[in-house]
Amino acid sequence: EGDNADDLVLCQAASDFGVRMISRSAQTVAVRYIDSTDTQKEDVEYEILCLLPFDSSRKRMSIIVRTNDKIYLYIKGAETSIWPNLSEYN
């Protein structure tokens, strides 16, 4: 479940593509990935390194997570606040 209508739509879309959140705490998020035939499942736990809540001046929220010795940055927000910050290496 999400905190607002956008979150609910994103969660439903992720579920439709076989991605489901199993659990969440202040330090971790566990996600289940299910293949399109619904025969293989993989559970992945992400360590939350930093959470930047939505800010109206940034027009986005971000989370930095680690799993399997890799670090990922996920961003959700207004397209106009994200695209200008991307480079050809993104």
pLDDT, tens digit only, all 90 positions of the chain:
556 788 788 889 999 999 999 999 999 999 999 988 878 899 999 999 999 998 888 899 999 999 999 999 999 888 888 888 888 775
Q: Which domain range does residue 26 map to?
A: 5-85
What does the alpha-carbon distance between residue 85 and residue 81 come to, in Å, rounded to a whole number?
A: 7
Asked if 53 and 59 count as a contact pair (C-beta separation under 8 A), the reply is no
For residue 31, being part of any structural domain is answered with yes
- Confidence (pLDDT) at 2: 57
Q: Is residue 14 part of a domain?
A: yes
Could you identify the residue written with the tokens 């800010």?
A: 55
What pTM was estimated for this model as a whole? 0.78
Q: How many domains does the chain have?
A: 1
- Which two three-digit tokens encode residue 64? 């930095």
pLDDT of residue 66: 98
Burial class (CB in 10 A: 0-12, 13-18, 19+), 65: buried
Q: Is 90 part of any domain? A: no
Predicted pLDDT of residue 10: 86
| Secondary structure E strands in 1-90 | 19-24, 28-34, 41-55, 60-67, 70-77
